[in-house]
Chains A and B, each alone.
Chain A
Amino acid sequence: MITEKLLIKSLKRLTVSLFLVFSVNSIYISSSLANEFEFSGKVGVEQRYFVDEGNDPEQVSHNQSSIVFEPELYWGWNNGSDSITFKPFLRLDSEDEERTHGDIRELSYIHAGDDWEVRTGIRKEFWGVTEFQHLVDVINQTDGVEDFDGEDKLGQLMVNLSVVNDWGIVDVFLLPGFRERQFNGSDGRLRLPILVDNDSISYQSSAKDQHLDLALRWSHSIGDFDIGSYWFHGTNRDPLLSLSVNDENVLFKQYYQQMDQLGFDVQATLGDFLWKFETIYRHTDIESYWATQAGFEYSYVGIFDSNIDLGLLMEHGWDSRGEGDGNSAGASVQNDLFIGARLAFNDMQSSEILMGMGSDLDHNGFSFLFEASRRLGESFKASLDVRLMQSNEPADLLYQIKNDDHLQLAIDWYF
């Protein structure tokens, strides 16, 4: 019920904003050519089919449907030196009320000078070079209900000053306000056997979710090398989950620590090879550890005298915490090998296939993904994803979702 109310509220808000936008649009068009307005985005339907029934009878047994709406409104003026972008997001899920969620992915104002710019508002910032795990990407909270691959992020409130120098780009981030991770509800699949409480959350900082986080990053391109390095101080985006008994229910409670993190990423672009390396050092009151993700991507242009390009990927993930045991939770990626192949058909419909495999080298844990996409006509796009998970290690996250093998078909209309 709460979700529905929220939904209606956000829909109302959206309608008001859209109305505003259209009126602003007509004013802009009539007033000045130097101003630019764009309305774009996507609407999509998604169908998931789970091969097996879930571990918990409450979970959806096979079919999960949803729709997604993600418009983007852009105003630019002064030749694009000033701009405002608004990108709301809404997903309505047929089964999991936690996955029915809305977010403001972006609502920000950018002012750019010659060699500097200030970006203020809700934004997404991506760091890193590797494909199978994004270790150094730390600014935004993961949207945990949108998908389970960690690629989707929640918008983060920030003030970001970015200065371009001969010796690289320096970014300063002030991050007021923290977004908690959302977890799938009892009806949802791809979740832990014990539900995570999305409401009662505790923090190390007395400022709770109002802690002002800081980040400082330097990045530069030197010849064939693209390098980045940063320091982040603030709320750890990854919660610690602890069991709690609440009204006769057993739940995981989220606890967010403060952390300091140093990160470094480099990509060497040498001929047909992209060599990639990411590392972090994370320090909290409870633990300090190192982690790395390293590998390469090799491109073969025009296989078998065709227009098809083949990319081969291999990466290894390591974490100093090692596997979990009785004393510590450990890391889910501690000695894992990832291999993948990407086929780009370079046809009119931009057809693509990506296959990937992750394997835990310390125990029998295995995941497989297949992603295919193709444009239909001028403005539709169809994507088919297949994800398979297997594990013999109960402490492993994969073990908890090993019955959640599924196919996912999405059709998006872009406007």
Chain B
Amino acid sequence: MLYMKKIKTAAALVVFTLASHSAVALDAAEKGLAISKEAKQRDLGWADSTADMRMTLRNTQGQESIREIKLKSLEQETDGDKSLTIFNQPRDVKGTAFLSFSHPVGADDQWLYLPALKRVKRISSRNKSGPFMGSEFSFEDLSSFEIEKYGYKYLGNETINGLDSFMVEQYPVDENSGYTRRIVWLDKAEYRVQKIDFYDRKNSLLKTLSYSSYQQYLGKYWRADSAKMINHQSGKSTDLTWNNYAFKTGLQDSDFNRNTLKRVR
């Protein structure tokens, strides 16, 4: 309701004053932020989650390659989430695991465990734009959504997947991001991300991510069963499917350290 009131005010300004343009821009920014905050707010309180993720990489010749990954995440109230990513396929990287303490502002803390060497390596988290496991997903595409990571602009409404949705433009704050902007479609009923368009550093459309088959868990949290990322410039694509989603499984801080990284399966 608040937004509607503001839009009405803004409309009045457009008609009656010369300062209209900046006022509308400010309003679009506020509304974009408010929608994103609401989406984040609705997804708080899941405590911890585990899931199995399967990636199917596809090149322009139609050749496929499979990645199998197990994910464990722990929600942090005052900081970014903690997560463990465990690789099961391809077989030559089986047992490799990745520990990340994400931060809304500043660099994330990341460690990689290499099982053949039994070595835990602290790695630079500056590589946000690079491909994840040779897929069309970059590291930043797979990191958790935090309000502080973007600037916002509400673009309007559109129907997508048959659902009345908001269109919000997001501008990455991090200079190491591979994008100038992304346009996100969130359905008005549940604030679930339906689609994202990614624009590269030259501001050309690079990729489109589409989510499908949302399921609700614990009567609150929506997770998609699958997603598809299409790279418009290379013609390659990556399909994602999630299985065995579980929430509030009892994971704690002590499940996310360099010792657990070495033995997690």
Enumerate chain A interface residues (CB-CB to B < 8 A). 36, 38, 40, 42, 74, 76, 80, 83, 110, 112, 114-115, 117, 124-126, 129, 151, 162, 164, 169, 219, 221, 224, 226, 267, 269, 271-274, 299, 301-302, 307, 309, 346-350, 375, 378-379, 381, 412, 414-415
User: Shortest Cβ distance from A190 into chain B, in angstroms?
Assistant: 21
Residue of B nearest to A127 (CB): B119
CB–CB A307/B131 < 8 A: yes
> What are 5 of the A-B contact pairs (CB < 8 Å)?
A80-B263, A83-B265, A169-B259, A271-B126, A299-B126
CA A226 to CA B109, docked complex, whole Å: 11
Cross-chain contact B90 with A125 (CB below 8 angstroms): no
**Residue from A224, A271, A349 in contact with B134 in the complex, judged by beta carbons closer than 8 Å:** A349
In the bound complex, do residue B92 and residue A110 qualify as a contact, i.e. CB atoms below 8 Å apart? no
Judged by a CB distance under 8 angstroms, whether B241 is at the interface is no
Count how many chain B residues have C-beta atoms less than 8 Å from C-beta atoms of the other chain: 39
- Please give the distance in Å from A199's CB to the nearest CB on chain B: 29
From A226, A301, A350, contact of B126 by CB (8 A): A301
Measured CB to CB, the closest approach of chain A to B97, in angstroms, equals 12
Measured CA separation A124–B66 after assembly (Å) = 30
Q: Does B151 contact A (CB under 8 A)?
A: no
Question: Is A164's CB under 8 angstroms from B122's CB?
Answer: no
Q: Does B123 contact A (CB under 8 A)?
A: yes
Contacts A301-B129, A414-B91; is A348 near B254 (CB within 8 Å)? Answer: no
Shortest beta-carbon distance from A46 to chain B in Å: 15
A155 to B5, CA, bound (A): 71
Specify the main secondary structure of chain A where it touches its partner.
strand
**CB–CB B90/A414 < 8 A:** yes
Q: Which residues of A contact B94 (CB under 8 A)?
A: 40, 414
Whether the Cβ atoms of A221 and B124 lie closer than 8 Å is no
Does B129 contact A302, Cβ atoms closer than 8 Å? Answer: yes
For residue B8, CB closer than 8 A to chain A, the reply is: no
Could you say which residues of chain B place their CB within 8 Å of the CB of A307? 130-131
Beta-carbon contacts under 8 Å, B106-162 to A: 107, 109, 117-119, 121-124, 126-127, 129-131, 133-134
Q: How far is the CA of A112 from the CA of B258 in the complex (A)?
A: 13
State the Cβ distance, B211 to closest chain A Cβ, in Å.
23
Are the CB atoms of B92 and A272 closer together than 8 Å?
no
B22 at the binding interface (Cβ < 8 Å): no
Is B264 an interface position by the 8 A CB rule?
Answer: yes
Chain B residues near A379: list those with CB within 8 A: 90-92
Interfacial chain B residues near A274, Cβ < 8 Å: 122-124
**Contact partner, A110, options B134, B257, B263, Cβ 8 Å:** B263
B57 close to A348 (CB less than 8 A): yes
Q: Report the bound CA distance from A274 to B112 in whole Å.
A: 14
| Pair B254/A125 contact, Cβ less than 8 Å | no
* Given A74-B265, A221-B109, A309-B130: A169 touches B257 (CB 8 Å cut-off): yes
* A250 → chain B closest CB, angstroms: 37
Q: Which 6 A-B pairs have the closest CB atoms?
A: A414-B91, A126-B118, A346-B131, A348-B134, A126-B119, A414-B92
